[in-house]
Copies of this chain bind each other. A is one copy, B any other.
Amino acid sequence: MRKVAVVGVGETKFSGPQERTSVELFAEAAAEALTESNLKPKDIQALYLGNVLGDFSEGQGSMQAFAAENIGCFNVPANRYEGACASASMAVRDAWMWVASGFYDVVLAGGVERAATMGTPLATRTFAMFSDSRYEFPSGITFPAVFAMLAHLYAAKYGVPLPKLKEQLAAVSVQSYKYGMFNPQAHLRKEVTMEAVLSSFMVSTPLQLHDCCPFSDGAAALVLASEETAKKLTSKPVFVVGAGQASNGPLANQQEYLPRLRARELSAKQAYEMAGLKPEDIDICELHDCFSIASLIAAESLGFFDYGTSGEAWAKGEADIGGKVAINTSGGLKAKGHPIGATGAGQVYEIAKQLREEVEPERQVEGGRIGMTDTLGGDGCTLVNLILQRGW
């Protein structure tokens, strides 16, 4: 397999409801990625696009084809991927394969969503269809409820008293909001204190408003190229050195494993093994904090902290810049936002910008060489992990 590099990235601002179509939103991100890569649309050989709710948010299925034509990538093979929140990461992993194999030299990958435009109540109900429709959805499950139950399981399993866990969760959100403040792409840009988190309204016990990410509109795009081509296009290639993916069925079928998700641990293992790296090698990580409890669970399964200790790690600053690993310096899903089918590509955007040391000083990790993304689809049905390394 050939080495594959991210040679250019682009992203719209993640936002609340806005009026551009998904095709138009993606065009903005794609144009930025192409410009960064010193490429023209005609140079792109294929498009790999994540999108989940386009049929519902704007009545547009198969938007990958219209998106390709709209940016001038005429007639290229264009795939749409759906793996719930992990759709764009699934698309990036497949794009990686088509370049790594030697079949294509330069491809475009990314994602787009107008989840905010749908409005939170409708988006929540619609998106609940991405849990199991036989056993989970009919029992009234929505994703806030799933993660609330995982929080209770986490508290019980690791003996963390619920009031203490709630403070730990609040610390996760406070850190995310802190970095979102400095990220011009972020959806929610405001200072939020521990007190504000703990006094925000209850969504699904124990998760309060500020424990939950918003639905966002937004798009992100990446140009991937073979090592040889990358050298001609940029002096700062970011190599995809590890890629893993795994799936889970209904959560009830993995009760003994919860609150950990087996799929994440398998996916991360694949990524680490491919990269020949260990958790302690990761400088920066964008992980899937759809709810603050999800951050604790993810950071442990990725090997950054011992099981049951993530909350303490966050409180001590070990998940912050200057700590063991800088987590969600973009503001994460919580503050940067969560345009579902675009989120995974947005994570790669952040890692690439961080490794190139191009983000705002307040949230720049100095000298970072290796970054990781973690994207969780639905209530764990799809997990994708990517490891990216500075190539200069």
Contacts and interface: CB of A to CB of B under 8 A. Distances in A.
B129 A55 contact: yes
Nearest to A22: B133
B78 A247 contact: yes
A92 to B, nearest CB: 12
B262 A75 contact: yes
A383 B52 CA distance: 21
Contacts of A81: 79-82
Interface residues of A, number: 60
Nearest to A80: B82
Interface string A60-95: 111011101110001111111111100000100110
Nearest to A56: B55
Given A97-B98, A262-B75, A82 B62 contact: yes
A38 interface: no
Copies of the chain in the assembly: 2
A137 B381 CA distance: 32
A79 B90 contact: yes
Nearest to A384: B77
Interface in A257-292: 262-263, 266
B101 A1 contact: yes
B83 A137 contact: no
Interface string A33-64: 00000000000000100001001101111101
Nearest to A91: B79
Contact of A82 (B70, B82, B248): B82
A241 to B, nearest CB: 15
A134 interface: yes
A392 interface: no
3 A-B pairs with the lowest CB-CB distances in the bound complex, closest first: A69-B249, A101-B101, A65-B381
20 contacts: A55-B56, A58-B133, A59-B129, A59-B137, A61-B84, A62-B82, A62-B83, A65-B381, A66-B134, A68-B247, A69-B250, A69-B253, A75-B262, A75-B263, A79-B81, A79-B83, A79-B90, A80-B81, A80-B82, A97-B98
Interface of A: 1, 21, 23, 47, 52, 55-56, 58-62, 64-66, 68-70, 74-84, 90, 93-94, 97-98, 100-103, 126-127, 129-130, 132-134, 137, 245-250, 253, 262-263, 266, 377-378, 381-382
